[in-house]
Structure 1
Amino acid sequence: MNDRRRTPKIVYDDDCGFCTWCARWAVRVAPVEAVGFSDLTDDQRALLPGDWEACAHLVVGRTVYSCGEAIEQTLARSNVPTSVAVGTLRSLPGYDEARERGYRWAADRRDRWGRFRRAESVE
C-alpha cells in the first residue's frame, strides 16, 4: 500500500470559501490531504455518515471523525501549538459537547466568514 492511501484525508465542502480556506490551512499545518465534496469517490463517500454534507470529516484509513471531532483530530496531528492543548481539553467534563457546539456555531455562520476568498484548488 502506498503512503498516499494511508494519508488522512480532510473532507470538506469545496463550494464554501471558508471551508476551502480551512482545508488549505489544514494541509499546510498537518500531514493530511484535502478532498472536496465534489471530488469524493464512491468508496470515500461510502465511509461517511448518511448526513455527510452537514460538516467536515477526517478519514483515517476506515475510521471517520466528523464535525468538531474532525477538526480536533486534524489539530492533534498538526504542528501548531493548539495540538498540545487538545489532550488536556479532552480530559475536561463536557468537552465533547462544547467542541461540537463550537463547530456548529462556526459552521452555521460560514457566510460571515465569506471574506476568505474561495480557492480554485487545494494543494
Structure 2
Amino acid sequence: MLEPTLVYDDDCGFCTWWADYFDERTDLHIVGFSDLPDHPDIRERLPEYYEECSHLVTERRVYSCGASIEEALRRYDSGGPVAETLGFLRNFEDYARIREWGYRQVADNRDTWGKLMSKTPPARQQSDDER
C-alpha cells in the first residue's frame, strides 16, 4: 500500500523549504526527484514531464502542480480554517484555473522566493559531499 507522498524538486532551496515544512507538519512521505529511481512505484504514476512541478501521490490519485500544494495544505490543516477555506474555494468554477496560475507564478520565480524562504536542497548537499 502506497503512503501519501509529496514529490518535489530536491535541487531547489525554496521547494526544499516547503517539503520540510510539510514533512514536519503532516504524515506525508517526502521524496525528491533525485530519489525517484529508488521509488519505481511512485515514478510510474507520475506524468511524463513530472519535473515541471510538484506532485502528491496517494493510493487513489496523483495531484499535480497547484493541486499538490492545495492537497498538502488540506492535510496540514484537516478540519481547520485552511482546509475549510479550500473547501469553500472549490465551489467556484474559476478556482482551479486561478490556483494553477498562482502556482505557476510562484514556481516560475522560485529564485526570488528562495531569497525569503530556502534550505540547502538535498541534491546539492550530496553534490558538495562528493567533491
Tell me the C-alpha RMSD between the 2 structures: 1.7
Within 2, Cα distance between the matches of 1:31 and 1:89? 24
Judge conservation of contact 2:12–2:121 (CA < 8 Å) in 1. Answer: no
Q: Which structure 2 residue ranges, 5 or more long, are not aligned?
A: 124-131
Deviations 1:15-72 (A, max 9, x none): 0000010011111222211100011122221100011000000000151110000111
Within 1, Cα distance between the matches of 2:46 and 2:26? 21
Name the SS for the 1:84 alignment partner: helix
Name the SS for the 1:50 alignment partner: coil
Shift of residue 93 of structure 1? 2.2
Name the SS for the 2:110 alignment partner: coil
Shift of residue 6 of structure 1? 3.9
Structure-1-length-normalised TM-score: 0.87
Q: Which amino acid counterpart does residue 54 of structure 1 have in structure 2?
A: E
Within 1, Cα distance between the matches of 2:81 and 2:25? 11
Within 2, Cα distance between the matches of 1:119 and 1:51? 21
Q: Which amino acid counterpart does residue 26 of structure 1 have in structure 2?
A: F
Residues matched between the structures, number:
117
1:28 lines up with 2:30 in the alignment: no
Aligned counterpart, 1:46: 44
Report the identity percentage: 46
- The 5 A counterparts of 1:56-75 are 56-75=54-73
Judge conservation of contact 2:25–2:76 (CA < 8 Å) in 1. Answer: yes
Aligned counterpart, 1:18: 14
Q: Which structure 1 residue ranges, 5 or more long, are not aligned?
A: none
Q: Which amino acid counterpart does residue 26 of structure 2 have in structure 1?
A: A
Within 2, Cα distance between the matches of 1:94 and 1:65? 18
Q: Which amino acid counterpart does residue 101 of structure 1 have in structure 2?
A: W
User: Which has more radius of gyration?
Assistant: 2
Name the SS for the 1:93 alignment partner: coil
Structure-2-length-normalised TM-score: 0.82
